[in-house]
Amino acid sequence: MTRASRPAGLASEVLVAADAVSLGYGRTIVVRDVSLHIRPGTATGIAGESGSGKSTLAKALVGDLTPMAGRVTVNGRSWSDVHRRDPERRRVQMIFQDPYSALNPRMTARQAISETLTVVCGVPRAEAGQRAGELLTRAGLSGAAIDARPHRLSGGQRQRVVIARAIACEPDLLIADEPTSSLDVSIQAQILDLLVDLREERGLALVLVSHDLAVLRHMTDTCLIMRDGNVVERGPTERVLSQPQHEYTRTLVAAHQGEETSVGSHHGAEEDT
Amino acid sequence: MTATTQAGSQTEPAPGLRRRSWRLRRIHVPSWLVVVAAAIPILIVILGFLLPTITGYSTSAFVAQPLQAPSWAHPFGTDQFGRDILVRCFAASHIDYLVAVVGVGISATLGSLIGVAVASTRLKWIDWAVMRIADAVIAFPFIVLALAFVVVFGSDTGFLGLPQGMPALFAAFLLVGWAYYARLARSQAVSLRSRDFVTAARLMGYSNARISLRHVMPIVMATTMAYAVGDAIITVSLTASLSFLGAGIGPPAPEWGQMMFDGRSLLEIAWWMTLFPALLLVVSGLCLAIIADHSIKRIEDRA
Amino acid sequence: MIDSHVRDGAGPDGEATSATVAEIGGLAISIAGREIVSRVDLAIAASESVGLVGESGSGKSVTCRSLIGMLGFIGASITSGQVRIAGRDMTSASQRQWRQLRGTTVSLVPQASLAGLDPLIRVGAQLSEVIRRFDSRADTAARSLELLDQVQMRRPGEVLRAYPHELSGGMRQRAMIALAIAGRPKLLIADEATTALDATVQRSVLQLLTRLRAELGMALLLVSHDLGVVRTATDRVAVMYAGTVVEQAASTRIFNRPRHPYTAGLTAADPALVPPGQRLRSLLGDPPQPGAWAAGCRFAPRCGYRQEVCDESLPPLIVAADGDAVACVRAAEISL
DSSP per-residue letters across chain B: ------TT---PPPTTTS-GGGSPPPPP--HHHHHHHHHHHHHHHHHHHHHHHHH---SSS--S-TTPPS-SSSTT-B-TTS-BHHHHHHHHHHHHHHHHHHHHHHHHHHHHHHHHHHHH-S-HHHHHHHHHHHHHHHHS-HHHHHHHHHHHH-TT---TTPPTTHHHHHHHHHHHHHHHHHHHHHHHHHHHHTSHHHHHHHHHT--HHHIIIIIIHHHHHHHHHHHHHHHHHHHHHHHHHHHHTTSSSPTTS--HHHHHHHHGGGTTT-THHHHHHHHHHHHHHHHHHHHHHHHHHHHHHH-
Q: What is the pLDDT of residue B2?
A: 34
Contacts of C73 in chain B (CB under 8 A): 13, 18, 20
Measured between CA atoms, how close is A155 to chain C, in angstroms? 9
How far is the alpha carbon of C163 from chain A, nearest alpha carbon, in Å?
17
**Is the bond preceding B252 in cis, omega lying within 30 degrees of 0?**
yes
List Cβ<8 Å contacts ≥24 apart for A114-119: A115/B214, A116/A165, A116/A168, A116/A169, A116/B204, A117/A168, A117/A169, A119/B204, A119/B205, A119/B206, A119/B210
pLDDT given for residue C277 in this prediction: 66
- Which residue among B6, B14, B20 places its CB closest to the CB of C110? B14
> Which residues in A lie closer than 8 A to residue C224 (C-beta atoms)?
none
Interface residue of B2, B202, B203 to substitute, partner A, most A CBs within 10 Å: B203
Query: What mean pLDDT do residues B78-102 have?
Result: 86
**Looking at the complex, does the CB of residue B303 fall below 8 Å from at least one CB of chain A?**
yes
Using CB atoms, pick whichever of A2, A214, A266 lies closest to residue C279: A2
Number of Cβ pairs < 8 A linking chain A and chain C: 112
Continuous H helices in chain A: 54-61, 109-119, 125-138, 143-146, 155-167, 185-202, 213-219, 237-242, 247-257
Chain C residues in contact with B23 by the CB 8 A cut-off are none
DSSP state of A88: G
CB contact under 8 A, A101 and B215: no
Buried-state track A236-250, b at ≥16 Cβ within 10 A, e below 16: ebeebbeebeeebbe
Q: How many residues does chain A have?
A: 273
Strand order in the sheet with A173-177: A92-95, A173-177, A205-210, A43-48, A222-227, A230-236
Chain C CA closest to residue B2: C289
Distances (CA, A) of A74 to A90, A144, A209, B295: 11, 38, 19, 47
CB within 8 Å: B14 and C225: no
- Picking from A127, A129, A121, A126, the residue whose alpha carbon sits closest to that of residue A167 is A121
Judged by CB atoms closer than 8 Å, whether chains meet at B5 and A89 is answered as no
The minimal CB distance from A102 to the residues B196, B208, B303 is found for B196
Of B1, B215, B222, Cβ closest to residue A104: B215
B194 to chain A: nearest residue by CA? A101
Whether residue B12 and residue C65 make contact (CB cut-off 8 A), yes or no, is yes
Residue A58 DSSP label: H
Q: Which chain A residues have a beta carbon less than 8 Å from that of B302?
A: 105, 151
Q: Are the beta carbons of A68 and A59 closer than 8 angstroms?
A: no
Interface contact C276-A256, CB threshold 8 A: no
Give the ipTM of the model, two decimals please. 0.84
| pLDDT tens figures, C257-271 | 899 999 998 888 888
Q: Which chains touch C (3 or more CB pairs under 8 A)?
A: A, B
**What is the interface size between B and C, counted as CB pairs within 8 Å?**
54
- Nearest by CB to residue B12, choosing from C110, C288, C292, is C110
Question: Closest chain B residue to A188 measured between Cα atoms?
Answer: B7
To test the contact with chain C by mutation, choose from B1, B11, B19, B22 the residue with the greatest count of C C-beta atoms within 10 A, namely B11
Identify all chain A residues contacting C170, using CB atoms and an 8 Å cutoff. 272-273
Quick check: A104 contacting B, CB < 8 Å? yes
What strands lie across the sheet with A69-74, from one edge to the other? A28-38, A16-25, A69-74, A77-78
Q: Do B17 and C118 touch (CB under 8 A)?
A: yes
Stretches in chain A below the pLDDT threshold 70: 1-12, 258-273
**pLDDT at res. A273:** 36
Residues B214-265: pLDDT tens digits? 999 888 888 788 788 878 878 888 888 887 777 777 677 788 888 888 888 8
A26 lies within 8 A of chain C by CB: no
In this complex, do C170 and A261 lie within 8 Å of one another by their Cβ atoms?
no
- Chain B residues in contact with C36 by the CB 8 A cut-off are none
Backbone conformation region of residue C230, classed left if phi is above 0, alpha if psi is from -120 to 50, else beta:
alpha
Domains of chain C as residue ranges with CATH: 7-105+185-259 (3.40.50.300)
Question: pLDDT tens-digit profile of A172-196?
Answer: 999 999 999 888 888 888 999 999 9
A189 and chain B in contact, CB less than 8 A: no
Distance from CA of C106 to the nearest CA of B (A): 12
Using 50, 70 and 90 to split pLDDT, how confident is the model at B26? low
Residues of chain C with pLDDT under 70: 1-18, 112, 114, 276-277
Written as one letter, the residue type at B86 is: L
Chains touching B by CB (3 or more pairs below 8 Å): A, C
Is residue B122 within 8 angstroms of chain A, CB to CB?
no
